[in-house]
């Protein structure tokens, strides 16, 4: 079954304690991305990756890091989480058909609360 | 700058029709439409490519006018299952992805 998995689904942490949210896809997609969703602000892209070792900033990259060492995995790292990073996070993947992006598949989401 | 959707919210009775618009201040080369149920991940509905195309399946269709930098989503004979938030989305610049502002749709029995 084609899917994007994220772990953990729910996470409560404290300010400053480093954490990693994992993301994995089994569709051999080149493009992977992280989004955060906040009430009234919609879905905003944090980082994206066009392929292994190729990553770039989205609209809200501050306070986040990513890496793409394998095609299937794209972890999101919060080195020193702060309360303003409390949010619902989605990982997504897709392929590119030339110049346009194909269907984007989303993981189930990770609810993060930073105290 | 993210595409602006209108209306922001709409309430329908079952069987009624709705149109959701997505307008961009920048050139659009492709548009995606998604539906998101509360607390769940967005689900892809359809993609429209440059060329003024129109697409649809079941009672949901969409059009794309790249000259006007607009796309519209048409929901006909709405069902309770259509309730949710609808987003348009597009690739901006060098593969950065931007979602529209979103439209909350509620279908009542």
Q: Is the CB of residue A89 less than 8 Å away from at least one CB of chain B? A: no
Give first-to-last CA distance, chain A, whole Å: 36
Three-class SS state of A19: strand
d(CA B103, CA B64): 17
Q: Could you say which residues from 26 to 85 on chain A have a Cβ atom under 8 Å away from some Cβ of chain B?
A: 31, 33, 35, 42-45, 48, 50, 56, 58-59
CB contact at 8 A, B73 and B55: no
d(CA B84, CA B82): 6
Across the interface, whether the CB atoms of B40 and A45 are under 8 A apart is answered: no
**Total H helices, total E strands in chain A:** 0, 13
Q: Is the CB of residue A106 less than 8 Å away from at least one CB of chain B? A: yes
Q: What is the DSSP letter of B52?
A: T
d(CA B13, CA A55): 45
pLDDT of the residue at B55: 66
Probe site for chain A from B34, B41, B103 (most A CB atoms < 10 A): B41
Across the interface, whether the CB atoms of A42 and B40 are under 8 A apart is answered: no
Q: What is the pLDDT along chain A (115 residues), one digit of tens a residue?
A: 889 999 999 999 999 999 999 999 999 999 999 999 999 889 999 999 999 999 999 999 999 999 999 999 999 999 999 999 999 999 999 987 655 667 889 999 999 999 9
Probe site for chain A from B4, B26, B95 (most A CB atoms < 10 A): B95
Three-class SS state of A72: coil
d(CA B69, CA B31): 10
């Amino acid at each position: 079954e084609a899917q994007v998995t994220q772990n953990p689904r729910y996470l409560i942490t404290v300010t400053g304690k480093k954490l990693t949210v994992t993301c994995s896809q089994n569709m051999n997609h080149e493009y992977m991305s992280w989004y955060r969703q906040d009430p009234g602000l919609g879905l905003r892209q944090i980082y994206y990756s066009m392929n292994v070792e190729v990553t770039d900033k989205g609209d809200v990259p501050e306070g986040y890091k990513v890496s793409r060492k394998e095609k299937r995995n794209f972890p999101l790292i919060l080195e020193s989480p702060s309360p303003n990073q409390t949010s619902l996070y989605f990982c997504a993947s897709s392929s590119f058909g030339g110049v346009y992006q194909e269907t984007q598949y989303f993981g189930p989401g990770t609810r993060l609360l930073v105290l | 700058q993210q595409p602006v959707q209108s209306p922001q919210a709409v309430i329908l009775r079952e069987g009624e029709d709705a149109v959701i618009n997505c307008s961009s201040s920048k050139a659009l080369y492709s548009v995606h439409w998604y539906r998101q149920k509360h607390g769940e991940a967005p689900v892809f509905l359809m993609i429209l490519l440059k060329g003024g195309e129109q697409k649809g399946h079941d009672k949901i269709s969409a059009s794309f006018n790249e000259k006007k930098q607009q796309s519209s989503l048409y929901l006909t004979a709405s069902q309770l299952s259509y309730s949710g938030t609808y987003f348009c989305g597009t690739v901006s610049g060098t593969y950065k992805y931007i979602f529209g502002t979103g439209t909350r749709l509620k279908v009542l029995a």
